[in-house]
Amino acid sequence: GPSSIKCQEIDKMDWKLDEFYLPYDNSSMMDGLLPNFQSPPMHTSHIGLPLCYYQPRGKRECMYTTDNGASYNGHLNISKYRKPCDLWTDVNLDLATSTRWVGEFENNFCRKTRWEPPGCYFNNKRANCNIPVCEKDNLKVFGEKRSYNAAQQNAGSPPSNALDGLIRVGNSYVSERPSSKPWFLLNLEEYIEVHAIVLYRQKVWFPVNNRYVGTYVSKHRWDFLSYGAYRCDDNRNPWKHKIFRFQCKRPIIGQYVSVKNFDFTEPDRKHGYFHYLEIDEIQVVGRSRMCGRRLGLITGDVYDYQIESSSLKDNDHQFDFGRLFRPENGWCARSTDNTPWFMVDLLVPLKVQGVELQGIKDGQNVKLINSFNILYGIDRNNLAIYQDPMGTMKVFKTDPSIGVSIQQFILTKEIYSRYIKVVPLEYTDACLKLEIIGCPKQARRDLWCRNYKYDLGFEVLPYRAFWMNEDHDAIRMIKTDVDIQQCIGHCQNITCLSFSFDYHERYCVLHMGHKYTRQFQKWWINKGDVSNIYYQRLCFKEFLEVNECGSKIFLKDVNTTTIVSPSFPLNYGQGINCVWSIQSEMYVEIEIVYIKLQEKILVNDLQKMGVYDINPGECEDTLSIRDESGYTKNILPSDKKLDGVKLISVSNKMTIQLSTCFHYERNDAKAFELKVSMIDLPACGGIDSCFQTCTQQSAYIFTPGFPIGYEHGDTCFWKIEGTYGQYVTFYIINLDVNDDSSCEKSFISVDDIDLLGRSKSLGKFCKGSRPYSVLTSSWEKLYIEFKAATDHDLQGNGGFLGKYEFKSFIQETFDLGNNSCKENWYGFKNSCYGMQRKTFGLTWIEAESECEVEGGHLVSIADQSEMEFIHYLVTILSNDPNENRAYIGLKKKTNGYSINDYIWSDGKPMTFTSWYYDPTLQMQQPDGLGNEKCSILQLFSIHNMNDWHDVACAYDKISNFICEISQDFQIQDDIRNTWSHVPTEMADALYMCESGEYILNAFLCDSVEDCFSGDDERNCSSIDTGDQFTCDDGSRISISLYCDFIPHCKDGSDENSCGKDTLLHTWCLFMKMT
């Protein structure tokens, strides 16, 4: 209740002082928690309290898009027709007239019904109201995976479902049908300035109705049950809306957000006692105040040297045991200590807002002080007693009835203090476990005391030190027969970093090292001889706000840098979100030098500590490494063996984000160190490279965990796929994959993929059989598989790292735009070449005839340069895997395989060979003996020009062939044209068809009907135009059929004495006629 007859003035709000009656239906939860009462009344069901009631002076006249205006309750009442809305009582809708929705559909104000945005009815017609959208403010969403309490759950619908971050995916939280009002409590674990509470639901029908929903914000956990919490919004009726935003009337600062269904306060009203409460997701909209946080006694962020006490009962109750949630004993003073105290040094003045105490389990009993004072201040020798109200020493009283549950004491008046001292007043045993609540800072410590700003003396720890070896300690000095002050003086004189002192032997050892070096931690022994004390310099660079972390890094002139966690190598803290943005001129490699994240505590772990009323939530510390291209590697506390692992980016930008939770147990090694370097190539497929399709021009591929190790049974598969016209080179940089000599259980296999998708193995490799040469694909695809054995004795230490690169043609490119050749023919030296395609297969003999019709022959290849041109031409012009075979003009004239046994179809001798050879399969061409006398070019590799194969001349499954004609004697496109009139200069070279048109004499009797009447192919033996060939038996054939490797004369005389001079004479005639 108020402390005076006047309530506090709040801007833009009206207030009134009123009596408020509370239903007393949660008796077991309210003992000792009601304000102004030491215990609840026993003989009445209601309690009356004087309270200040606040109401905003103006309504919120805008809607939020979060729920599409479902929560709008302003006073706008003009429809889109610019006319006043009808009264809801005049609208024939149950939702508008039922008393169950009182407070929502009032007067004629615009409201949201089931589907549409806020509207109303005008002349009984639904009309939108065009409510303006509320301005967006810079607020964040809180709640996901945080701590919670809730009414008893329905089977299979736990409260964690309401905080899992999944909306309309999976299950909701559903309460059991309660005997009291169902509720849900969210612990934000810090003070949040709450602006709104958003509820998502999946089920909106009976019996999961949400009516008269109350929303509360408080700093004490159970205030909402005793109505000591602040209301966020009025009781609202979300009706059938699956999203509803409860907008707070004013921002409220608190740690706990609670929701109650059927939140009635009138006597004898028990509506909703048998309804479920269903929440798919609850979100809190607001901003962090970076306060109301535990300062770190639980987690170890407050170090042992910051804690001291008046005495200790024994070695099982030392001062550094006085930490909240410590699993076993806490701190207890010696029984003879008449003025016990327990003190924490926060190093710098911080805002302190409260303390939490916990008892120590002792069999069936609990040891805990009954009452205490809090002393605070900047000077440890001049501390003040906390007063509330001013002038009255505040006595804090604990409740012995709640066992080892946490007892929270929030200070009405916040204080700034470096020292917090708890002084027990009443107790049987002066015992406690403590946590301090306030606004923490990051302490950036300079462990080597080189660039420090603050020197706070020494930290003192009762440890036995075995940690320093000569190799790691350049200066080690022993001083004998000295006291502690003399030892401190010696350390200051030589600026040592630390020393250990033995009270019994009166000597100290001075060091230039410190205990936080990770490799030495294992040599430290706790609970040793307490007479052996360790001192270490306390140097600090700066004290920052908790959220001051992260940076922007650009790798250019300096191509390597280091990223460390806040306060490294000390704990990084809790409830922080740090982002490092990295940009490089090339690509980024991140090496994990060291990482250890705080592991998630489970409910069972808390229960082992005797804590049964706290659910820690599902939050888990995460270090996310994201590539700009979208690939992400999330490192969790459960991930082990990461020190030394390397991750490589796909792009030149990466982001590293550290997100930490609020913790419930100690961990003195929460930290990470990353080495960030600029690297020449990206990783295939992403920073977590495995099961990827690789399309970058060149990239690294590697096994997960490289170079540290892989897991038993790991498998990976990379598809390296370029574009037609490329091939792949692949080099294995590192191969530490253990197997026996067979490489069958653990291996890297490399497969060459041809144009038809068929694979050919280039080998299986393991540690003992690593190839040191470059592996090369035939075409643009190479598939690589990694497989690790399940046998533990075959575990490898490093894994696999490889590098691939796409390459284009091995030979030079050629200009295919030679204008001296006709369309679709391409010039090289003195010839024109045409890649001819048919829709059907043909024989070598038929292909040669087709080339002769064009005025040439199947291509003859005289030397390496011409072979390179042909290879380039076929590669460029082939768009289909089936087009990689084509006839060439080589033909066997005698049995044998020497150069003298072959001749080209144009009569040229064979002066160059490029027969196919496969070194892997030991296959050699030609291999057809006497049955395969003709030849084809068949591409088996984009970069290998040994492409010739022998083939049977009658084989008719190949549809492509390459023709070659001389650039001086090529036939023009219109040679076979017919003429309707006779050019005077060509009269002697033409034949008049019976159908009236003219054709060249050279095309008489050539087995092709050029006349429409067909008479050019009749009576061929008697026609003599002078442009024909006369066979030895007197018959005549077209000169175009002469020496075409196919006998047309009955006596075969047209294929005798064939030579180049004869053919040139024929084509000269054609050119003259043209």
Q: What is the per-residue pLDDT across 504-557, written as a single tens digit (0 to 9) for each?
A: 888 888 877 777 665 555 544 454 455 677 788 888 888 888 888 999 999 987
| Residue 30: band (very low, low, confident or very high) from pLDDT cuts 50, 70, 90 | very low
Q: What pLDDT is attached to residue 603? A: 86
Q: What is the per-residue pLDDT across 421-462, written as a single tens digit (0 to 9) for each?
A: 999 999 999 999 999 999 999 888 888 888 888 888 888 776
Those residues whose C-beta lies under 8 Å from the C-beta of residue 338, and which sit 6 or more positions away, are: none
pTM of the predicted model over 0.95: no
Q: What pLDDT is attached to residue 643? A: 84
- pLDDT of residue 244 exceeding 90, the answer is yes
Q: What pLDDT is attached to residue 521? A: 53
Q: Is residue 767 part of a domain?
A: yes
Q: Is residue 976 part of a domain?
A: no
Q: What pLDDT is attached to residue 370? A: 95
668 and 715: one domain? no
Structure token digits, residue 78:
């003009």
411 and 371: one domain? yes
User: Measuring CA to CA, which residue among 420, 410, 519 is closest to residue 471?
Assistant: 519
Q: What pLDDT is attached to residue 415? A: 95
864 and 940: one domain? yes
Q: Which domain CATH number covers 64?
A: 2.40.20.10
Q: What pLDDT is attached to residue 423? A: 97
344 and 433: one domain? yes
Structure token digits, residue 488:
């401190």
User: What distance lies between CA 69 and its chain's CA centroid?
Assistant: 34
**DSSP letter, residue 1040:** G
| Residue 1071: band (very low, low, confident or very high) from pLDDT cuts 50, 70, 90 | very low
Those residues whose C-beta lies under 8 Å from the C-beta of residue 105, and which sit 6 or more positions away, are: 88, 95, 96, 111
265 and 241: one domain? yes
144 and 283: one domain? yes
Cβ contact 1037:1020 at 8 Å: yes
Asked which of 939, 966, 993 is the last residue of a domain, the reply is: 966
- pLDDT of residue 856 exceeding 50, the answer is yes
Average pLDDT of the residues in 650-654? 90
Q: What pLDDT is attached to residue 471? A: 45
Q: What pLDDT is attached to residue 188? A: 96
Q: Is residue 297 part of a domain?
A: no
- pLDDT of residue 1072 exceeding 70, the answer is no
Q: What pLDDT is attached to residue 1060? A: 46
284 and 145: one domain? yes
Those residues whose C-beta lies under 8 Å from the C-beta of residue 473, and which sit 6 or more positions away, are: 511, 512, 513
d(Cα 401, Cα 1000) in Å, to the nearest integer?
122
Strands annotated E in 57-132: 119-122, 125-128
Average pLDDT of the residues in 826-834? 90
Q: Is residue 821 part of a domain?
A: no
Strands annotated E in 722-869: 727-736, 747-753, 759-765, 775-776, 781-787, 799-807, 826-828, 831-842, 857-858
Domain count, the chain: 9
Those residues whose C-beta lies under 8 Å from the C-beta of residue 530, and which sit 6 or more positions away, are: 315, 462
Q: Is residue 6 part of a domain?
A: no
422 and 384: one domain? yes
Between 515-529, 758-772, 834-848, 890-904, the lowest mean confidence (pLDDT) is in 515-529
- For 742, list phi and psi in degrees, rounded to 5: -80, -20
Structure token digits, residue 740:
């026996």
Tokens 């809790």 sit at which residue?
574
131 and 149: one domain? no
Domain range for 794 is: 689-808
Q: What is the DSSP string of 142-185?
A: E-TT-EEEESPBPTT--GGGGGSS-SSSSPPEEB---SS--EEE
Q: What pLDDT is attached to residue 173? A: 94
Q: What is the per-residue pLDDT across 140-187, written as a single tens digit (0 to 9) for each?
A: 999 999 999 998 888 889 999 999 999 988 889 998 876 667 899 999
Q: Which domain CATH number covers 934?
A: 3.10.100.10
- pLDDT of residue 927 exceeding 80, the answer is yes
Q: Which domain CATH number covers 378?
A: 2.60.120.260
C-beta atoms surrounding 141 within 10 Å: 12
782 and 701: one domain? yes
Of 120-129, 191-200, 1042-1051, highest mean pLDDT: 191-200
Q: Which domain CATH number covers 523?
A: 3.50.4
Q: Is residue 115 part of a domain?
A: yes
Q: What pLDDT is attached to residue 657? A: 96
Q: Is residue 972 part of a domain?
A: no
Those residues whose C-beta lies under 8 Å from the C-beta of residue 108, and which sit 6 or more positions away, are: 77, 84, 85, 86, 87, 88, 120
969 compared with 972, residue with greater pLDDT: 969
Average pLDDT of the residues in 582-592? 92
Q: What pLDDT is attached to residue 193? A: 95
| Residue 324: band (very low, low, confident or very high) from pLDDT cuts 50, 70, 90 | very high
Q: What pLDDT is attached to residue 138? A: 87
Asked which of 529, 544, 559 is the last residue of a domain, the reply is: 544
State the Cα angle at 327 between 322 and 331, rounded to 5°.
20
Burial state string for 1007-1043 with b = 16 or more CB within 10 A and e = fewer than 16: eeebbeeebbbeebeebebebbbebeeebbbbbbbbb
Structure token digits, residue 754:
């041809």
Backbone torsion region of residue 527, taken as left when φ is above 0, otherwise alpha when ψ lies between -120 and 50, otherwise beta: left
Percent pLDDT > 90 in the chain is 37
Q: Is residue 989 part of a domain?
A: yes
The CA-to-CA distance between both ends of the chain, in Å, stands at 117
727 and 804: one domain? yes
Average pLDDT of the residues in 17-44? 47
State the Cα angle at 993 between 991 and 999, rounded to 5°.
45
Q: What pLDDT is attached to residue 1044? A: 63
C-beta atoms surrounding 829 within 10 Å: 9
| Residue 969: band (very low, low, confident or very high) from pLDDT cuts 50, 70, 90 | low
> Quick one: 396 exposed, middle or buried, by C-beta within 10 A (0-12, 13-18, 19+)?
buried
Q: What pLDDT is attached to residue 689? A: 67
Q: What is the per-residue pLDDT across 365-396, written as a single tens digit (0 to 9) for each?
A: 889 999 999 999 999 999 999 998 888 999 99
530 and 562: one domain? no
Q: What pLDDT is attached to residue 567? A: 87
- pLDDT of residue 2 exceeding 70, the answer is no
Structure token digits, residue 502:
């033995």
Q: What pLDDT is attached to residue 252? A: 94
Q: What is the per-residue pLDDT across 351-369, written as a single tens digit (0 to 9) for each?
A: 999 999 999 988 888 899 9
Q: What pLDDT is attached to residue 972? A: 45
- pLDDT of residue 785 exceeding 70, the answer is yes
Percent pLDDT > 70 in the chain is 83
Asked which of 112, 135, 158 is the last residue of a domain, the reply is: 135
| Residue 315: band (very low, low, confident or very high) from pLDDT cuts 50, 70, 90 | confident
- pLDDT of residue 29 exceeding 60, the answer is no
Mean of all residue pLDDT scores within the chain: 83
Q: What is the per-residue pLDDT across 263-277, written as a single tens digit (0 to 9) for each?
A: 876 655 555 556 788
Tokens 């075979």 sit at which residue?
885
